[in-house]
A and B are shown apart, each in its own frame.
Chain A
Amino acid sequence: MEQVYPVDFFDGMQAGAKPALMYFNAEGIFIQLGQYWNKEDSVLFYNYHQCKTQQTGNELFVFLNKDATNYISFSVNGSFVQDLKQQLERKDSSFAGSLLRMNAFTLLLMVLLLFSGVYWAISTIVPWAGLKLIKPKTETTLGEKMHESMMRGETIDEKRTALLQQFAKELQLSKDYPIKLTVVKNKEVNAYAIPGGNIVVYTGIIKAMKSPDELAALLGHEAAHINERHSLKSILRSAATGLLVSVVLNDVSGIFSIIVENAEGLRTMHFSRGIEANADEEGMKLLVKNGIHPLAMKKLMQRLKENTPEIPDAFSFMLSHPATDERIKHANEFAIPYKKSSFAPNPVLDSLWSELK
């Protein structure tokens, strides 16, 4: 017979500890109430696989059943404790168990890696799926509605609208979208594209331009925004990160989310610069395709630069099109291969242009 040890036993019927004697072997734990072992008295047996241990301070608790109503406790300094622990701690071989044995730094690294993985996945998958799901036709329908509400407060220049529409017809601007033009009576030097095919041009910008190829460059740039679905892309992008921020940082509110939001703001700005550069380039490709020298884009930008007031007002064209010098440089670089090629003048565009002016 193995050695017996005194322990405190809790029987799950009454709260107080009862003095008991315990011994253990390969099968489990045996307990008899009382201070002296009596061979005739009944012995309680507990199989190891129901047992759970917990150490709090210097006290070891061994819960003997699933309900934790029966348990024994004793000091961790007891001579038998190591042997009993070995019996009880069949290594927790679950994945969670092995993670808990790793050090905190490794775990922290894993969390950071996972977070960036999830971030990457969501900010890639959501826009990708969105672009697949939303067809150009839907975009056009929605864009029409947006256009309608945006034009409500504006005065439309009907004559110039018709002329500009004819001008655009002479150019191949889009394969997927019906390009529809609207000229608005406004002194501001501005033009913008609405997803789905609408382009709005202010009379101010037409006045500022000096040649038909500049106008073609403008239309090329705006059509590129539409063809490349830039608005939809940035909407989906912010939807994706918004989703992520709300899911992941739900309970780590406050400072964390402020940092993320600011970082997101910077990224969006970067993204919108990328969009403009992309629209310039695609616009220049459209110009080449339509037999117009791509340097027209450069001319357009210089013209816009000249027309920027010293203190730009909040809604000026330049504000949403930053870093003009960089864009001029980029347009120059793009035009290098076309330096020697000659582009024939387009009489139809020229005559429409003079009517527009």
Chain B
Amino acid sequence: MEYNKYNLVFKGSGFEYLKIQLVNIILTIITLGLYYPWAKARTLHFFYGNTLFNNQPFVFTGTGSEMFKGFIKAFLLLMGVYAIVVYLALNEQELVGIVLLYIFLVLIIPFAIHGSYRYRFAKTVWSGIRFGYMGDKWELFFLCIKGTILTIFTFGIYGAWFAMNLRRYLLCNVKIGDARFAYKGVGGEYFWLNVKGYILTIITFGIYFFWWQKDLFNYFVDNLRLTKDDQTMLIRSTAKGDDFLVLILVNLLLFVFTLGLATPWIIVRSTKFIMEHISLDGTIAFDELRQTQANYSDATGEDIADFLDFGFII
């Protein structure tokens, strides 16, 4: 078995991204928002296509029209729910309406995450090999319900365990071809990491914040690995606290002094930072990855997640 080391590379430019954003904004405004799925597809193509691993780019093969179908379904579903809530509120049943809305959101979120993971990974291709998400929606559903209830009853403390259980479940079910990801993070460590970060940030008047961010990033990356048969790839972060300090401060200055116009550059440099501080080393021969994952084109979950504004959770 051969031992290899790899890095991720991001080659996108801020200027190119600015143009993409401007075109997306123009088209989204003149179509009164209907263009949004195509705009999102264009943005994803940009970020995927400019990310290289072992000299091969990632490809996002999802399309605007697939996501538009999901967009319409998600829109109708959520409008229906909001209509019921508004109807109840108008008939002086505000409390019932709000309780119903929260229950609905808690119930729908696991399905939205599931759908979004299935779609997003099935549409992610590297070196001709598809990614895939193998999780079961009911397992995820019960994990989320249990997590939500315990988090409420422990006044948020269980949140750390919930977040790690969720992340572990999701990432352990992601595959690329016949290689599988694994995540080893656990709630206890994550909880103390945050307690430490919180207290030290206060004691140091905020300076430790950057090291806290580094700890969180490293806790995510360093606990990830990829396995294929008896071969393993360890994923490591090379980011240091002062790297985060420079990144965040420069981003802040760029934003303030350009009144936000530099946002595309900020996003591009942050992406570059993240990609280029992740390295993989181990014995998997990536040339031997085999295609095993099926295609999947229903984007409803992806779109519900979008509407609820929680993006792509990891």
Interface residues of A (CB under 8 A from B): 10-17, 54, 56-57, 59, 61, 63, 66-71, 73, 95-96, 99-100, 104, 107-108, 110-111, 114-115, 118, 252, 254-256, 259
The contact sample of 15 A-B pairs, CB cut-off 8 A, is A10-B128, A11-B128, A13-B291, A14-B289, A15-B126, A16-B288, A57-B11, A67-B61, A68-B61, A95-B27, A99-B23, A108-B22, A111-B26, A252-B260, A259-B259
A107-B23 in contact (CB<8A): yes
B27-A96 in contact (CB<8A): yes
Q: Collect the chain A residues with CB atoms within 8 Å of residue B52's CB.
A: 56
B49-A54 in contact (CB<8A): yes
Q: Min CB distance, A117 to chain B, in Å?
A: 8
B129-A68 in contact (CB<8A): no
A69-B23 in contact (CB<8A): no
Residue of A nearest to B28 (CB): A114
Q: Collect the chain B residues with CB atoms within 8 Å of residue A15's CB.
A: 126-129, 177, 286-290
Of B18, B22, B27, B130, the most chain A CB neighbours within 10 A belong to B22
Q: Which of A10, A69, A95, A111 contacts B22 (CB 8 A)?
A: A111
Query: How far is it, in angstroms, between the C-alpha of A104 and the C-alpha of B26 when the chains are bound?
Result: 12
- Any chain A CB within 8 A of the CB of B8? no
Q: Which of A63, A99, A100 contacts B59 (CB 8 A)?
A: A63
B22-A54 in contact (CB<8A): no
Q: Which of B23, B38, B128, B263 contacts A68 (CB 8 A)?
A: B128
Q: Min CB distance, A123 to chain B, in Å?
A: 16
Query: How far is it, in angstroms, between the C-alpha of A267 and the C-alpha of B126 when the chains are bound?
Result: 53
B19-A67 in contact (CB<8A): no
- Any chain A CB within 8 A of the CB of B238? no
Known contacts A15-B286, A73-B56; 13 additional CB pairs below 8 A are: A10-B127, A14-B287, A15-B128, A15-B290, A16-B127, A17-B127, A56-B11, A68-B59, A96-B27, A104-B15, A104-B22, A108-B22, A114-B29
Chain B, interface size category, equals 35 or more
Q: Contacts A95-B27, A99-B23: A256 and B125 contacting too (C-beta < 8 A)?
A: no
Q: Contacts A10-B127, A11-B128, A54-B49: A69 and B26 contacting too (C-beta < 8 A)?
A: no
- Any chain A CB within 8 A of the CB of B295? yes
Interface set, chain B 264-302, CB cutoff 8 A to A = 286-291, 295
Residue of B nearest to A68 (CB): B59
B49-A110 in contact (CB<8A): no
Interface set, chain B 33-50, CB cutoff 8 A to A = 38, 42, 49-50
A56-B49 in contact (CB<8A): yes
A256-B260 in contact (CB<8A): yes
- Any chain A CB within 8 A of the CB of B55? yes
Query: How far is it, in angstroms, between the C-alpha of A118 and the C-alpha of B33 when the chains are bound?
Result: 12
Q: Which of A56, A57, A69, A259 contacts B125 (CB 8 A)?
A: A69
Query: How far is it, in angstroms, between the C-alpha of A114 and the C-alpha of B25 when the chains are bound?
Result: 9
B23-A12 in contact (CB<8A): no
Q: Collect the chain B residues with CB atoms within 8 Å of residue A107's CB.
A: 19, 22-23, 26
Query: How far is it, in angstroms, between the C-alpha of A61 and the C-alpha of B127 when the chains are bound?
Result: 11
Residue of A nearest to B252 (CB): A254
